[in-house]
Amino acid sequence: MATWSNFGLQDGMSPLMEQMIFFHDHTLMILIMITMMVGYTMVSLTYNNLINRYLLEGQMIELLWTIIPAITLVFIALPSLKLLYLLDEMSNPSITIKSIGHQWYWSYEYSDFKNLEFESYMSLYEKTKFRLLDVDNRIILPFLIQIRMLVCSMDVIHSWTIPSLGVKLDALPGRLNQMSFLMSRPGLMFGQCSEICGSNHSFMPIVIESISMEKFVKWLKSY
């Protein structure tokens, strides 16, 4: 989760987010190299007193500054295409969950199990250490299992977002959106509605608790 003095991305809790972080670092390194090279060239030209009055064209340098950016774009495009394929939906999800956005809370339905529905409100500050982030009813899910999330809204546009999973799905009234993800390890994942949906937009957080399959089965029996 995001903490004070944390300027980087959150730790990836899914293979998808880990690949996104890698792509971010890869692209940022290329941008730093380009910025340093262009900056050095501009400073060198500033302090250069030599001028060629008879220079009308330079075929070689024009060829170079056309080919080098094209090669750079290839190095950015290849991992980007790989990430696009990873974003594709999983073919065989094991668990399906439906999330419904309300003003201003979330309700959840475990579609694969009967009578498993609950509403999730933001917890009061006195009852939690995570101010404005924790909820009274967390989403309990097993890790290393393919999860399909269905999202819709009952009133206005919301957005179901978990940054550490690399998941952001718009909740639209009258429309059902879906996305699949897989959690790589146990832990708590915090998110918030990422669409300005009204006066209490910042008070409808999302919390996923990732546990083992054995504990998940025990939780289902006790619910």
* Phi–psi pair at 62, nearest 5 degrees: -65, -35
For residues 190 and 205, is the Cβ–Cβ distance under 8 A? Answer: yes
d(CA 81, CA 12): 19
- Same domain for 145 and 200, yes or no, is yes
Question: Does 83 reside within a domain?
Answer: yes
Mean pLDDT of the region 68-93: 84
Indicate if 160 and 106 belong to the same structural domain: yes
Look up residue 135 and give its DSSP letter.
Answer: B
The total number of structural domains that make up the chain: 2
Claim to verify: residue 186 and residue 133 sit in the same structural domain: yes
In the Cβ-directed half-sphere of 34, how many Cα atoms lie within 13 Å? Answer: 14
Choosing from 88, 103, 127, the residue where a domain stops is 88
Q: Which of 28, 68, 64, 13 is nearest to 191 (CA)?
A: 13
Phi, psi torsion values for 72, nearest 5 degrees: -60, -40
Both tokens of 207, joined, read 């919390």
32 lies in some domain: yes
Tens digits of residue pLDDT in 189-208: 999 999 898 888 888 999 99
Contact yes or no for 79/22 (Cβ under 8 A)? yes
**Which residue range is the domain that position 57 belongs to?**
15-88
Global confidence as pTM:
0.80
Tell me the pLDDT tens digit for each residue of 85-119. 877 766 788 899 999 999 889 999 998 887 788 99
How large a percentage of the chain has pLDDT more than 90?
Answer: 41
Q: Is 2 helix (H, G, I), strand (E, B) or coil?
A: coil
61, 121, 188 from 65: Cα distances, Å: 6, 56, 48
Hey, which residues does 108 pair with through a beta bridge? Answer: 99, 118
Share of the chain above pLDDT 70, in %: 96
Among 39, 55, 88, the domain-final residue is 88
pLDDT-derived band at 126 (thresholds 50, 70, 90) equals low
Q: What is the CATH number of the domain that holds 45?
A: 1.10.287.90
Q: Is residue 210 part of a domain?
A: yes
